[in-house]
Structure 1
Amino acid sequence: MTQQETACLSLVTLFLPLQAGLAAETVGELAPVVVEDARDEVPAYSRFAVPRSVEASQTMTREDIEAIRPRDVSDLIETALGMSIGRQGARVHNFSYNRGDNVSIILDGVYLTQTEAQRVLGDLPVEMIDSIRFLRDSTVITIGPLMSFGSANAGSPNQGFIVITTRKAMPGGESGGEAHVSYGRYDTRKASGFLSYSGLDGRASVGLGYQRSQTDGRDDWNNAYEGDTFLLNGAYKDADLNASASLFINRAERDIQRATGTYSGVTKYPVSGPTPDGVLDKNIWRYDPMNTMVFAVNLARTWNEHNTTALTYGWSQTEGTQYAYTTIKPKSSVSGSDAKDQAIEWNLSHTLSGEQNIFKIGAQSVRWYQQSEGSDTPRREQVFGAYVTDEYRITPAWSIDGALRMDKKHIIEGGDKYLSSGNQVQLSNDEWTDKATLVSIGSAWQIDPTWRLSARYSFNHTPTPDVLTTRDDAELDAEDRSRYELGIEADFSPALQASLTPFYYNIKNAKVSDGSISEDADGNPLIDEASGEATSITVYKAADRIRHGFELSLRGRFADDALGYELGWTHFNDSEEDGENGSEFPDNKYTARLNWRQGPWNSNVTLLRVDPYLSYGYTVGDFTTVNLSVARQFGKDVTVTLYGQNLTDEHYGTNNKGYPATANWGVLRDVGATYGVEVAVKF
């Protein structure tokens, strides 16, 4: 750390205790503060337990998801504070970002590598999600590695986590079941069922779910899909043991949506060259099949009232066959290219809990395998990490916490990297990277029953990814990142609750785009081995940058609990954004949700506004969407819902897929307004 960073760290550490002490002298005669924190709902031994100084978190329940009525997981993520979606297509259905970086996806306790998550998200039915938790603070170091796997931007620190839990039981934990059938625009059909059984006086439970999803998609857009999803889970809990296991399986076939061109210059399309502005791209790829399996086991053994040991085992795999055909090169003329991503995870931790202190020590291992489409050589990597955390409650209203994690990656079998000459080389095998380190401190103070303050500082050191291509093959220094974050929460009444999380990041040696290479040293065009077409390769450089912004949330219920609302505003600014590297994010995003319920009726309106921003020099974003649902319950067991999604009929895009002068693609557009009806039956 630099002297300035050390000084800031010391000031934060000293300032918060001083403030709390002054407050104690001022309000010492008042009634004691009763501290109730939603964080207490997660057991202290859980790898997903967060310190009280983490304010940047948001949880959506099954009820919230049904109210928002998202068409897919990406729609759901986009409605959360701080999150942005860049829809890509091909095997990478989308990216999810938070505060300018990738987020990690956790499915039923299993850490999905970035390359896996980009495949899985598009095939995870929202109807099968029980809850989704957004942790916008990346310093929750018990959850995932500090380094990702495989891709060129994999060295960037994870800027938060999305923790997804699939259906486990019926509401209330009772035995029973439910069935859903829906029909929507573009001949979209879904049918699902879920059964759960609870026994042994509530200590044991078993759940079983299935969903069939199918859509013809919009004419000529090549976005049809059909898939089957299966869920199986079980759990047992007594005074000493908490055990659970789950299995998620998806078997699907997917057409890859055609992008709309953005190039306005002279082109030889469709024979060669970029796709003209407004024209559907000639690529009409398909994955048949695209299969996913995620298996998880979570065990926690409580030895006594203070000591608990927890173990997580996760196994995940995605595999598929890609047919990269075009309007001038039909599917019958191309052969399929197989691809597979696989990961195995172990996480072992021990937690020592007292009345005032929670101490945790743990270790994690994630082993990754990838065989990319068209590649003859797989990649194998493994990250080993160790961490220690401590949270101490000085008073019931005031706590401090600290954490340290160190990771090291073993490149078992390397992949290809392009030199600046345009030639590919094989990376070294059996190579250990430099160490990645993260240290964080935080403090939270419940001033009174209304106001709560928190502050966090973290510093992480991340080595440069081995797969980055640089000009003249230059060596790039490791990234050093200092993050400062405040949390302000106010609970004025059931009708008005507010939270504000300003943040400021000072990043040294961030890896940013430095343009692209489309020719080798002799002036010959680079050729993609899989498609046989001309391609370009992004090159990177190191740059210092500042990121800052805030997330504001207002929510409440009134009118005898019949009316509820939730408003959100995300503001983000990056000092280096220029709209030329394709990784930009909107400066502002606004969300609103209004819920009304009266007797058997329930209605929800959701609004999303995203400001315009540049992606490879092309304006994307700049859209407002509205979702509306009206539900009527008949008796206790039957509910009929009418719904509309993107009722403003916005054909928006969120990412321009490549440099317009060279890339044979453009923007993936939303299909516009959709609407439908659903019938749900409980039994």
Structure 2
Amino acid sequence: MKKQVIMGVALLALGSAVTQASAEEQAVEMGGVGVTGKKDKQPVYSATTVPASASATVEEFSREDIQSIAPASVYDIAALSPGARVEFQGRKGMNALQLRGGDTVGIILDGVYIPWSQASRIMAQFPVDAIESVRIVRDSSAVTLGPFVAFSPAMSHDNVPSPGLGSSNQGFMVITTKKGKGPELGGIAEYGSLDTRNFQLYHGNSKGPFSYRMVGTASGTSGRAGWNNAANNLSLLLNGNYDSTALKADFLIYYANGRREIQRSTKDSTAYTSLWNYDPLESLQIALNLHKPWNAVHTTSLSYARGRVTDDEYLKSSTSTTIPQAVRQEDQVETWHLWHVAATENNRLTGGFQAFLWKSPTGQFFYEGVPRKEDLFSGYLQDEYKFNNRLTLDGGVRVDTKLIEQGSDKYSPLQATNKKIENEWQQPAISMSIGSSYQLNEQHKLLARMGYTRQEADTFLATVGNKTLNTEERFKYEAGVEASYHPAFNPSVTLFLYDINNFAYSAATGGSGSSVYNIYDTANIIRKGVETSVKGSLPWGFGYHAGYSYITTNRGDTNKVMPHHNVSLRLSHQIGGLESNLILNYVGPYENNFLSVGNIYRPAGEYTRVDLNVSYSFKLDKAQLRATVYGRNLLDDRYVTIAGWQDQGITCGAKLEVAF
């Protein structure tokens, strides 16, 4: 019934559309650009626009930036954003991205909101050559992007590799795929160390108001011998756009089918004997976005998206010859988003409603066999006003309300007496923010933001003494400056402070092996830090982009499990068709005891990863070609982000791209 009601309201809002003048697409200045200095431009009705006062907290990687980085996955891109922390573990949810000391990150792919329970399994294999841009929004200031409340505490707390560092989505990674802009046909062939291969064919075209692009990719790796980290993946990506004065629309279909082994740990971890894998591992993501311009000011938009991940999980042990039975897993989320934008020359007002219908009918990760179903209903309002060519003010509010239709009272596989939750509403989570940007002069822009969030702890969490956790409140403050002195020197700096009351953290663990879970308590924490960036283009074809972030808290136990320093550096040089790029990423030391033998805190981080690639672009008859050789982790550092799981070390390869 809920789906029919949502669909009826949404279609009614668009059904009365009449053919009137289109809303003019306005350029929206975005933050964080690459060495090229290019800025993203979005239509005025975009739901992923952030206020001008938050521009310093947005790191954008353009198509050219991504090509120069030569990443193995989208996580290699995200790791270069100040304040970002990428982690890997050989467990059922493998990949994780966190910001500003541990807050979780929502992932949005062409309008599809992908919860961590899905992203942790599939996004590492998403074809990066199909990506147009990646934007890392380091704070939850943009209330239009997505929910601040995560689905199922099993995902937002108990299975996150560094649990208890953040209780909700406090940032977003927005991924936009390449669109068809005219006749194009091409392919990519890549081969590297560890029998790593990547083959891609793509085709796109446009005719009148319609354009499309489709990409087929076959990729895989044999992994290191004895590491249990082989993988292969076949995927098809299709997107399209329709652009007329009466209606604007776009769609996405992404399907992937493959197999992924779950990397084996070292003897530092209690998971050392685990030889797990997903076979098959399937994903289907679809999205449809409709935009109706009523006139030059008003535009109403409707978005529908559906994401689904299914797999057969095999939990094999190195100490047993028994062939395990497949454990079926299914995770899906359905999203409706209806919003309206009223934009004039000086003001942009946005209001909307979102509904996220999430379920895991087979049971989630370490709670197989116990169905979970949650619905999240959200409303938001955001306004940004430009007083003159210098001053802008903005404010926004968002409310997320969760309905647990089906679930268990405590996330603890060993608590056999758990009651089952049915149709229980959680307390609403509220987020508010205000911000301002001021163009001091031609060179300097001043930025300031204040935010407040209030969120109840989910009843799912296992807690110390089985007590009820108090409401978490966050008071967030930011101040920054962006400077544009010269094409060769463009710095920015942001200072932030989070005053968090009743911060949920992992105080202990229960269970063992595949049934381990976290037990939570709360504490008052002050988290503060600085994020800096500087970029520029230099003479003789050189360019650079450097970033640094520092974060600390007033709580020792929290401080020791997070890296305080993060440095990134991209150096580029181009002469004619020859381009070379050096990428460096340093992560400071910290400790981790997730599944650690004896629950001992073990060293993690404190590594410097150096990547290098050289490419040459040339023409052959009517074909445009680009040949690239690359090396990743050239220092062969077997660094650890989660106790027991090492990076696989130095790899190298070659890649040939052909376009007609």
Cα deviation, residue 320, structure 1: 0.4
Residues 536 and 251 (structure 1), Cα distance of their counterparts in 2 relative to 1, 3 Å cut = closer
Asked whether the equivalents of residues 587 and 611 of structure 1 are also in contact (C-alpha less than 8 Å), the reply is: yes
Task: Pick from 184, 193, 197 the counterpart of residue 176 of structure 1.
Answer: 184
The one-letter code of the counterpart of 2:573 is W
Question: Separation in 2 of the partners of 1:343 and 1:418?
Answer: 20
Counterpart residue number, 1:318 = 309
How does the TM-score come out when normalised to structure 2? 0.88
Show CA shifts across 1:90-145 (max 9, x none). 32121100012101000111111221222222221222222111111212111111
Counterpart residue number, 1:51 = 51
Task: Pick from 122, 144, 147 the counterpart of residue 149 of structure 2.
Answer: 147
Counterpart residue number, 1:493 = 486
The one-letter code of the counterpart of 1:168 is K
Asked whether the equivalents of residues 417 and 424 of structure 1 are also in contact (C-alpha less than 8 Å), the reply is: no
Question: Separation in 1 of the partners of 2:509 and 2:227?
Answer: 29
Q: Does 1:37 align with 2:29?
A: yes
Residues 492 and 176 (structure 1), Cα distance of their counterparts in 2 relative to 1, 3 Å cut = same
Task: Pick from 215, 220, 230 the counterpart of residue 226 of structure 2.
Answer: 220
Alignment of 1:406-445 (within 5 A): 406-415=399-408, 417=410, 422-445=415-438
3-state secondary structure, aligned to 2:66:
helix
Alignment of 1:56-455 (within 5 A): 56-99=57-100, 100-152=102-154, 153=156, 156-169=167-180, 173-200=181-208, 203-262=209-268, 274=270, 281-330=272-321, 333-370=323-360, 371=362, 372-373=364-365, 375-415=368-408, 417=410, 422-455=415-448
Cα deviation, residue 60, structure 1: 0.6
Counterpart residue number, 1:595 = 572
Task: Pick from 625, 648, 654 the counterpart of residue 609 of structure 2.
Answer: 625
Residues 380 and 421 (structure 1), Cα distance of their counterparts in 2 relative to 1, 3 Å cut = closer
Residues 420 and 75 (structure 1), Cα distance of their counterparts in 2 relative to 1, 3 Å cut = closer
Residues 41 and 186 (structure 1), Cα distance of their counterparts in 2 relative to 1, 3 Å cut = same
3-state secondary structure, aligned to 1:119:
helix
Show CA shifts across 1:42-75 (max 9, x none). 2232110111110200111122112112222222
Cα deviation, residue 422, structure 1: 4.7
Show CA shifts across 1:522-573 (max 9, x none). xxxxx77xx6xxx44321011100111111001000215x110001101111
Cα deviation, residue 261, structure 1: 2.2
Show CA shifts across 1:355-396 (max 9, x none). 211111110100101132562221000010111111111112
Cα deviation, residue 239, structure 1: 2.1
Residues 36 and 241 (structure 1), Cα distance of their counterparts in 2 relative to 1, 3 Å cut = closer
Show CA shifts across 1:295-342 (max 9, x none). 001111100011000111110000101100011224x52101011110
Aligned residues between the structures: 602
3-state secondary structure, aligned to 2:43:
coil
Q: Does 1:564 align with 2:555?
A: no
Asked whether the equivalents of residues 553 and 559 of structure 2 are also in contact (C-alpha less than 8 Å), the reply is: no
Question: Separation in 2 of the partners of 1:575 and 1:159?
Answer: 20
Counterpart residue number, 1:7 = none
The one-letter code of the counterpart of 2:591 is L
Q: Does 1:679 align with 2:659?
A: no
Q: For structure 1, which runs of at least 5 residues remain unmatched after alignment? A: 1-34, 264-273, 276-280, 519-526, 657-666
Residues 215 and 359 (structure 1), Cα distance of their counterparts in 2 relative to 1, 3 Å cut = same
Cα deviation, residue 36, structure 1: 8.4
Show CA shifts across 1:138-161 (max 9, x none). 121111112111124358231110
Cα deviation, residue 174, structure 1: 2.4
Asked whether the equivalents of residues 552 and 559 of structure 2 are also in contact (C-alpha less than 8 Å), the reply is: no
Cα deviation, residue 82, structure 1: 1.4
Q: Does 1:509 align with 2:478?
A: no
Question: Separation in 2 of the partners of 1:413 and 1:307?
Answer: 40
The one-letter code of the counterpart of 1:289 is P
Show CA shifts across 1:207-236 (max 9, x none). 110110021111111111111011111101
The one-letter code of the counterpart of 1:650 is D
Residues 37 and 59 (structure 1), Cα distance of their counterparts in 2 relative to 1, 3 Å cut = same
Asked whether the equivalents of residues 30 and 58 of structure 2 are also in contact (C-alpha less than 8 Å), the reply is: no
Question: Separation in 2 of the partners of 1:52 and 1:379?
Answer: 39
How does the TM-score come out when normalised to structure 1? 0.85
Asked whether the equivalents of residues 580 and 615 of structure 1 are also in contact (C-alpha less than 8 Å), the reply is: no
Q: Does 1:483 align with 2:476?
A: yes
Question: Separation in 1 of the partners of 2:402 and 2:243?
Answer: 36
Give the percent of matched residue pairs that are identical in Structure 1 and Structure 2: 33
3-state secondary structure, aligned to 2:64:
helix
Cα deviation, residue 427, structure 1: 3.4
Out of 312-321 and 113-122, give the one that drifted further. 113-122
Counterpart residue number, 1:637 = 624
Question: Separation in 2 of the partners of 1:511 and 1:323?
Answer: 32
3-state secondary structure, aligned to 2:319:
coil
3-state secondary structure, aligned to 1:609:
strand
Rg (Cα) greater in structure: 1
Question: Separation in 2 of the partners of 1:360 and 1:122?
Answer: 33
3-state secondary structure, aligned to 2:245:
coil
RMSD, aligned CA: 1.9
The one-letter code of the counterpart of 1:598 is I
Question: Separation in 2 of the partners of 1:419 and 1:325?
Answer: 22
Asked whether the equivalents of residues 639 and 680 of structure 1 are also in contact (C-alpha less than 8 Å), the reply is: yes
Cα deviation, residue 579, structure 1: 6.2
Counterpart residue number, 2:525 = 545
Question: Separation in 2 of the partners of 1:479 and 1:304?
Answer: 43
Question: Separation in 2 of the partners of 1:576 and 1:249?
Answer: 44
Asked whether the equivalents of residues 418 and 424 of structure 1 are also in contact (C-alpha less than 8 Å), the reply is: no
Question: Separation in 2 of the partners of 1:461 and 1:400?
Answer: 23
Asked whether the equivalents of residues 229 and 248 of structure 1 are also in contact (C-alpha less than 8 Å), the reply is: yes
Cα deviation, residue 248, structure 1: 0.8
Question: Separation in 1 of the partners of 2:182 and 2:584?
Answer: 34
Out of 423-432 and 492-501, give the one that drifted further. 423-432
Question: Separation in 2 of the partners of 1:405 and 1:514?
Answer: 30
Counterpart residue number, 2:642 = 655
Asked whether the equivalents of residues 84 and 585 of structure 1 are also in contact (C-alpha less than 8 Å), the reply is: no
Asked whether the equivalents of residues 93 and 121 of structure 1 are also in contact (C-alpha less than 8 Å), the reply is: no
Question: Separation in 1 of the partners of 2:565 and 2:168?
Answer: 23
Asked whether the equivalents of residues 563 and 595 of structure 1 are also in contact (C-alpha less than 8 Å), the reply is: yes
The one-letter code of the counterpart of 2:170 is Q
3-state secondary structure, aligned to 1:284:
strand
Asked whether the equivalents of residues 409 and 421 of structure 2 are also in contact (C-alpha less than 8 Å), the reply is: no
The one-letter code of the counterpart of 1:66 is Q
The one-letter code of the counterpart of 1:37 is E
Asked whether the equivalents of residues 28 and 43 of structure 2 are also in contact (C-alpha less than 8 Å), the reply is: no
Question: Separation in 2 of the partners of 1:388 and 1:537?
Answer: 37
Question: Separation in 1 of the partners of 2:562 and 2:467?
Answer: 28
Show CA shifts across 1:464-512 (max 9, x none). 1121111221011110001001121000010000111110000000101
